Amino acid sequence: MTVTNRRAKRLEQLPPYLFIEIDRAKEEAIAAGRDVIDFGVGDPDLPTMRFIVDRMAEAIRDPKNHPYSLGRGTLAFRRAAAAFFQRRFGVELDPATEVLALLGSKEGIGHLPLAAVNPGDVVLTPEPGYPVYVCSAVFAGATCHVMPLEADNGFLPVLEDIPAHVRQAASLMWLNYPNNPTSACAPLSFCEEAVAFAREHGILIAQDAAYSELYFGPPSPSFLQVDGAKDVCVEFHSLSKTYNMTGWRIGFAVGGADTVSALAAVKGNLDSGVFGAVQEAACAALDNSDHVEVRAMLDIYRRRRDVLADGLTRLNWKANRPDATFYLWVPCPQGYDSMTTAKRILDEADVVVVPGVGFGRCGEGFVRFALAVDEGRIREALDRLGRIEW
Ligand SMILES: *Cc1c(COP(=O)(O)O)cnc(C)c1O
| 327-371 per-position pLDDT tens digit | 999 999 999 999 999 999 999 999 999 999 999 999 999 999 999
Q: Domain for residue 3, yes or no?
A: no
Task: Indicate if 214 and 90 belong to the same structural domain.
Answer: yes
Task: Indicate if 328 and 222 belong to the same structural domain.
Answer: no
The predicted-structure confidence for 216-270, as pLDDT tens digits, reads as follows 989 999 999 999 999 999 999 999 999 999 999 999 999 999 999 999 999 999 9
Q: What is the CATH number of the domain that holds 35?
A: 3.90.1150.10
Domain residue limits at 114? 50-287
Task: Indicate if 54 and 44 belong to the same structural domain.
Answer: no
Cα 363 to ligand 1 centre (Å): 18
Task: Indicate if 230 and 375 belong to the same structural domain.
Answer: no
287, 319, 342 - which closes a domain: 287
Quick one: pLDDT band at residue 142, thresholds 50, 70, 90? very high
243, 260, 287 - which closes a domain: 287
Pairing of strands 354-355, 204-208: unpaired
pLDDT at residue 1 tops 80: no
Q: Domain for residue 92, yes or no?
A: yes
The predicted-structure confidence for 110-129, as pLDDT tens digits, reads as follows 999 999 999 999 999 999 99
Cβ of 180 less than 6 Å from ligand 1: yes
Cα 273 to ligand 1 centre (Å): 18
Cβ of 240 less than 6 Å from ligand 1: yes
Q: Can you point out the beta strands (E) in 103-250? A: 122-127, 143-148, 170-175, 204-208, 233-238
pLDDT of residue 324: 97
pLDDT of residue 5: 72
Cβ of 106 less than 6 Å from ligand 1: yes
pLDDT at residue 3 tops 90: no
Let me know how long the chain is.
Answer: 390
pLDDT of residue 2: 67
Task: Indicate if 197 and 171 belong to the same structural domain.
Answer: yes
Task: Indicate if 27 and 164 belong to the same structural domain.
Answer: no
Task: Indicate if 255 and 177 belong to the same structural domain.
Answer: yes
Task: Indicate if 93 and 207 belong to the same structural domain.
Answer: yes
Domain count, the chain: 2
pLDDT of residue 6: 82
239, 272, 287 - which closes a domain: 287
CA-CA distance, 101 to 275, in Å (whole number)? Answer: 11
Cβ of 105 less than 6 Å from ligand 1: yes
Q: Is 351 helix (H, G, I), strand (E, B) or coil?
A: strand
Task: Indicate if 97 and 146 belong to the same structural domain.
Answer: yes
CA distances to 133, 149, 177 from 129, rounded to whole Å, are: 8, 9, 11
Ligand 1 atom closest to residue 103's alpha carbon, by position in its atom list = 9
CA distances to 117, 139, 351, 353, 364 from 38, rounded to whole Å, are: 38, 32, 6, 7, 20
Q: Give yes or no for a contact between 293 and 284, defined as CB atoms under 8 angstroms apart.
A: no
Cβ neighbours of 314 (radius 10 Å): 11
Candidates 41, 103, 106: which one to mutate for ligand 1, based on the most atoms within 8 Å of Cβ? 106
